[in-house]
Chains A and B, each alone.
Chain A
Amino acid sequence: MKQFPLRIGVLLICMLLLNAGAAAQKRTVNPATGAVSWETSVDGVALLLTQILPDQVRAFYLNRGLPAEATEVYATACVYMTVLRNDSAPGVVHFRQADWSVVSGGASRPPLSLEAWFERFEVYELSKSATIAFRWAQFPAEHDYQPGGDWNQGMLTTGLPAGAEFDLVVRWDVAGRSYEGVLKNVQCAN
């Protein structure tokens, strides 16, 4: 009988240890715009995704001078406003988008890269100003964030069709140690 509380205690400690790396995920809907956001915070790094609906993407890029055909291809690629921020990681956060994974339907691949987009856009004639706006509105492909508030906000594309659901696995390292945060069951609305 005396062993029973001990077993419970060990079980609780194991559960706590298993949960130590897990982080709560929050899903919110902006009452003004209807935009859905998914966010989490892992080991001092905050991650936020907000879907930008195709009509919003079209309006943004057509206004920046991107050709209509190129805009259409991009707007229907499941675009998210992405925020990553080093709030209190134990050092400089270094990441490369090429190391991240969009996991959906049993398949896994990185978000679409800037290079991939410019390859797709080769058939269209992009003006200099449209190219610059497109390039710099994307979430950086690679960066180093100092602790205490370095961050970026930019667009990220999954390439998935409307209606798809996916997990986004974001990976980074701090002083050679690898970390990852996951946003689960993110939806791509029409």
Chain B
Amino acid sequence: MRWLVVLWLSLWLAPSQADLPPLTHNLTAIAEASPAPELRLLSMDDEMIDIDSLKGKVVVVNFWATWCPPCIREMPSLEALHQETKARGVVVLAVNIGEDIDTIFPFLGSVEPSPSFPILLDSDSSSLSRWKVRGLPTTFVVAPDGSLAYQAVGGREFSHPDLIEQLLHLMD
């Protein structure tokens, strides 16, 4: 029941969809390429995931929470991106901030399509300071060489063809 309350509150607290700005598909190139910060967390499937072990792939790292309305809006497009690109070297990781599995799991079931990419658990939010996140959601794209390539502050439409093309170009 708790996730239903969370979902209801998130929608209630948000202005109507018509009032909110549409999600764009722009990513900002990070001018001075630097190595991605450390990210080593347990997933909801109890698997330890270390971003260092994903060199050679394009990694999309999304920081989110179930109570964050823009995070909810963009989540289906992250799943669409995952489905479209998982066979072409793109990995999507969603780092949940400060919530437990009992809250996250039922929430994911309410998202259509339901996310099938790894959800990592950052129970003390320490990854946010390492990644210099100042608001949720924030998303980074890590290039195959392990450097930060792009950043997006706020919700995005990740399944837009132009954005997918931009990510796949990093594999060239």
Query: Interface residues, chain A, CB within 8 Å of chain B?
Result: 28, 30, 32-33, 35, 37, 39, 46, 48, 50, 52, 56, 59-60, 63-64, 81, 83, 85, 87, 128-129, 132-133, 135-137, 139-143, 145-146, 148-154
Closest to B10 in A: A60
Give the residues in chain A near B15, CB-CB below 8 Å: 30, 35, 37, 48, 50, 81, 83
Q: How close is A61's CB to chain B, nearest CB, in angstroms?
A: 10
Give the residues in chain B near A139, CB-CB below 8 Å: 135
Interface: B65 (CB within 8 A): yes
Q: Give per-residue flags for B69-91: 1 if the beta carbon is below 8 A from chain A beta carbons, else 0.
A: 11000000000000000000000
Interface of B is mostly: loop
Given A30-B16, A48-B19, A136-B97, also A60-B135 (CB < 8 A): no
Query: Interface residues, chain B, CB within 8 Å of chain A?
Result: 2, 5-6, 9, 12-16, 19-21, 23-24, 26, 28, 65, 67-70, 97-100, 123-125, 128, 134-136, 151-156
Give the residues in chain A near B19, CB-CB below 8 Å: 28, 30, 37, 39, 48, 50
Q: In the bound complex, do residue B154 and residue A151 qualify as a contact, i.e. CB atoms below 8 Å apart?
A: yes
Bound CA–CA A140/B70 (angstroms): 14
How many A-B pairs fall under 8 Å by CB?
109
Given A85-B154, A132-B97, A136-B65, also A56-B12 (CB < 8 A): yes
Q: How close is A54's CB to chain B, nearest CB, in angstroms?
A: 13
Residue of B15, B65, B155, B156 with most chain A CB atoms under a 10 A cut-off: B15
Q: In the bound complex, do residue A128 and residue B98 qualify as a contact, i.e. CB atoms below 8 Å apart?
A: yes
Q: How close is A69's CB to chain B, nearest CB, in angstroms?
A: 20
Given A81-B13, A149-B154, also A133-B65 (CB < 8 A): yes
Q: Which of B21, B70, B125 contacts A87 (CB 8 A)?
A: B21
Q: In the bound complex, do residue B154 and residue A150 qualify as a contact, i.e. CB atoms below 8 Å apart?
A: yes
Give the residues in chain A near B69, CB-CB below 8 Å: 153
Give the residues in chain A near B14, CB-CB below 8 Å: 81, 153
Bound CA–CA A153/B67 (angstroms): 12
Residue of A129, A133, A135, A151 with most chain B CB atoms under a 10 A cut-off: A151
Give the residues in chain A near B135, CB-CB below 8 Å: 136, 139-140, 143, 152, 154
Q: How close is B34's CB to chain A, nearest CB, in angstroms?
A: 16
Q: Which of A28, A141, A146, A151 contacts B21 (CB 8 A)?
A: A151
Give the residues in chain B near A145, CB-CB below 8 Å: 153-154
Q: In the bound complex, do residue A133 and residue B67 qualify as a contact, i.e. CB atoms below 8 Å apart?
A: yes
Residue of A56, A129, A141 with most chain B CB atoms under a 10 A cut-off: A129
Q: How close is A41's CB to chain B, nearest CB, in angstroms?
A: 10
Bound CA–CA A19/B125 (angstroms): 46
Bound CA–CA A153/B21 (angstroms): 10
Given A129-B99, A133-B67, also A151-B136 (CB < 8 A): no
Nearest 5 interchain pairs by C-beta: A149-B24, A132-B98, A151-B154, A148-B26, A152-B135
Give the residues in chain A near B153, CB-CB below 8 Å: 143, 145-146, 150-152
